[in-house]
Structure 1
Amino acid sequence: MANLPPSLSMGTPFGGPSTSTQISTGAPANKDRNLASAEQLVLDLSNPELRENALLELSKKRELFQDLAPLLWNSFGTIAALLQEIVSIYSVLAPPNLTPAQSNRVCNSLALLQCVASHSDTRMLFLKAHIPLYLYPFLNTTSKSRPFEYLRLTSLGVIGALVKVDDTEVISFLLSTEIIPLCLRTMEMGSELSKTVATFIVQKILLDDVGMDYICTTAERFFAVGRVLGNMVQSLVEQPSPRLLKHIIRCYLRLSDNPRACAALGSCLPDSLRDGTFSNCLREDQIARRWLQQLVHNVGVGRVPAHQGGGFEHML
């Protein structure tokens, strides 16, 4: 996803063998220097006096360090140091007294955790340690100031990194931790960018069968998601955002795959998605236009008669 920081290179691991081509171009020397630099900066994370600079340097240069995630995870005390940074600002979340400097420092810690969440060797270890739970207080904030918004967005980036890889075990874990209400909160009050990432996370959850079943099992869950999606569509009528709208349409389209949800969408799908309101907004996005056409078609032909008890209304 474009608005998430790109993942690390998954090339030659630390200390891997070099080829004759690399020798001739001087690549091994550069790799050795990067390795030594990364190792020293990771060691500095355990020193409170050196940690702030190490956080800044590692977060800025993390793409230069191949397989940084395993190094972070397997280095003694490193993950504990990152969690210590996160926990240290809980006290300034409510009432909201977070300063830009505090926000930047914690966001650098979160950027390193995103590396761990993105890497195939550390992703499940990251989940089994329940580390995402440490981020949830940031997603539960309501202040719209820049330090809080930056904190929310970076936290969402960590969750987004987890769901980018289609893995039912990841989705099941997130659902067990009530990630949906936290994403819905951000979708209602966050900036355009944080709304987009939060909607992307909900979209990826819906695209997994476990996530789809979770949201469509009860009328309350379905209508909670539907209400927020509908409000977002209404706000986009005044301030269009093609990228955000595309994720919203994909969420609706996936919901229309469920017969009961499709029946309910017949009465709660916003008219602005049916009447061409967003034609100009989606003019350059052929995929989103096709998704919207399919959504309108599904809702039009997929309605289940009320007397058959196919919709959600009888459950409320």
Structure 2
Amino acid sequence: MSNLPQSLSMSAAFGGPGPGPGPSIPSASGAPPNKERKMASSEQLVLDLSNPDLRENALLELSKKRELFQDLAPLLWNSFGTIAALLQEIVSIYPVLSPPNLTPAQSNRVCNALALLQCVASHSDTRMLFLNAHIPLYLYPFLNTTSKSRPFEYLRLTSLGVIGALVKVDDTEVISFLLSTEIIPLCLRTMEMGSELSKTVATFIVQKILLDDVGLDYICTTAERFFAVGRVLGNMVAALSEQPSSRLLKHIIRCYLRLSDNPKACDALRSCLPDMLRDATFNGCLRDDATTRRWLQQLLHNVGMSRVPALQAGAGFDHMMVN
């Protein structure tokens, strides 16, 4: 994407009706009048974020139409006071997290702010600026909640969407930052108690962390970390045997397969991989998913048929757990 122009104007249209029949007549700046109006409208909405009286409507309009902006993220990041206004929205609801008193209206409003932060996290020009400012840490109190009410679930899911946008682009620097925080235990908590959708996004985040060599090494460095992840994955497999979800199962199997790339983890999986992944429990669930069936086949091959040299005393997870 192109860099933000000095005028902070957008290079993509902002909704609204298209130009009428026939060619548009350029203005003095060279842009069609309709496009100029749309760019001015987008800039005005961003400016409105800094006005408490106008912020709620601006949050709603920008989050609803953010896909229509090509360079909304640089505009949000570089315009004066905008990120501070979004963080103010987030911090303002901390007091209602515990005890849980979050209303649907409060949840919707802060989720609109989170949607704009996800836009910033997704953009190549602002992603690292977003990380360097440690903005993901402001979302962690939302991931630490346990209420299963819809306002809280919506809040967790939208917060996970921001983290998911960060890991979607394979970047070791992003993974290293997240591993320096408590993102793994927070994701594991959601994988245990969230809705199917939030479980899926949290598992996707763990999967993307594992797919990076730094992430895999981190999880497999200690027995405690490996078995914490393995226990949650195992519990999820057991739950899926009663309420199947092919989408969630796909991410779980990919996590197991990636863990099997580590020799110590592969050795441990021989004894702790759920039996339901070894038998025909999920045959129906995976009938139309050739990719996941292939992953599962490779996982079982790695765990049951590959020859891994015997680990020396002190090198394996079993020894570490005994100690």
TM-score by length of 2: 0.90
Q: Percent identity?
A: 85
**What is the match of residue 318 of structure 2?**
313
Q: 1:104 to 1:311 in 2, by over 3 A?
A: same
Structure 1 residue 63 displacement after superposition:
1.1
Alignment of 1:91-130 (within 5 A): 91-130=95-134
Q: 1:211 to 1:238 in 2, by over 3 A?
A: same
**What is the match of residue 265 of structure 1?**
269
Alignment of 1:60-209 (within 5 A): 60-209=64-213
Q: Greater helix share, 1 or 2?
A: 1
**What is the match of residue 247 of structure 1?**
251
The whole-number CA distance in structure 1 between the counterparts of 2:196 and 2:307 is: 32
Write out per-residue CA displacement over residues 67-101 of structure 1, whole angstroms, 9 at most, x where no aligned residue.
Answer: 00000000000000000000000000000000000
Write out per-residue CA displacement over residues 136-177 of structure 1, whole angstroms, 9 at most, x where no aligned residue.
Answer: 000000000000000000000000000000000000000001
Structure 1 residue 12 displacement after superposition:
9.1
Q: Which runs of 5+ in 1 are unaligned?
A: 1-9, 18-22
Moved more, 306-315 or 222-231: 306-315
The whole-number CA distance in structure 1 between the counterparts of 2:67 and 2:93 is: 27
The whole-number CA distance in structure 1 between the counterparts of 2:34 and 2:156 is: 35
Write out per-residue CA displacement over residues 241-271 of structure 1, whole angstroms, 9 at most, x where no aligned residue.
Answer: 0000000000000000000000000000000
- Report the residue type matching 1:118 in the other structure: S
Answer whether contact 2:278 2:300 (CA < 8 A) is retained: yes
Structure 1 residue 65 displacement after superposition:
1.8
Q: Which runs of 5+ in 2 are unaligned?
A: 13-21, 26-30
- Report the residue type matching 1:104 in the other structure: N
The whole-number CA distance in structure 1 between the counterparts of 2:124 and 2:24 is: 30
**What is the match of residue 24 of structure 1?**
23
The whole-number CA distance in structure 2 between the counterparts of 1:171 and 1:12 is: 25
- Report the residue type matching 2:111 in the other structure: C
Higher alpha-carbon Rg: 2
**What is the match of residue 7 of structure 1?**
none
Answer whether contact 2:223 2:317 (CA < 8 A) is retained: yes
Answer whether contact 1:55 1:105 (CA < 8 A) is retained: yes
The whole-number CA distance in structure 1 between the counterparts of 2:195 and 2:224 is: 26
Does residue 217 (structure 1) correspond to residue 221 (structure 2)? The answer is yes
The whole-number CA distance in structure 2 between the counterparts of 1:181 and 1:25 is: 55
Write out per-residue CA displacement over residues 261-306 of structure 1, whole angstroms, 9 at most, x where no aligned residue.
Answer: 0000000000000102101001111100000000011000246576
Write out per-residue CA displacement over residues 184-241 of structure 1, whole angstroms, 9 at most, x where no aligned residue.
Answer: 0000000000000000000000000000000000000000000000000000000000
CA RMSD after TM alignment = 2.0
| SS, match of residue 115 in structure 2 | helix
The whole-number CA distance in structure 2 between the counterparts of 1:307 and 1:47 is: 63
Answer whether contact 1:175 1:211 (CA < 8 A) is retained: yes
Does residue 284 (structure 1) correspond to residue 288 (structure 2)? The answer is yes
Structure 1 residue 308 displacement after superposition:
3.8
TM-score by length of 1: 0.92
The whole-number CA distance in structure 2 between the counterparts of 1:15 and 1:272 is: 52
Answer whether contact 2:10 2:69 (CA < 8 A) is retained: no
The whole-number CA distance in structure 2 between the counterparts of 1:277 and 1:31 is: 56
Q: 1:52 to 1:307 in 2, by over 3 A?
A: closer
The whole-number CA distance in structure 2 between the counterparts of 1:161 and 1:293 is: 29
The whole-number CA distance in structure 2 between the counterparts of 1:233 and 1:34 is: 49
- Report the residue type matching 1:65 in the other structure: F
Does residue 46 (structure 1) correspond to residue 53 (structure 2)? The answer is no
The whole-number CA distance in structure 2 between the counterparts of 1:34 and 1:245 is: 43
The whole-number CA distance in structure 1 between the counterparts of 2:294 and 2:33 is: 50
| SS, match of residue 156 in structure 1 | helix
**What is the match of residue 59 of structure 2?**
55
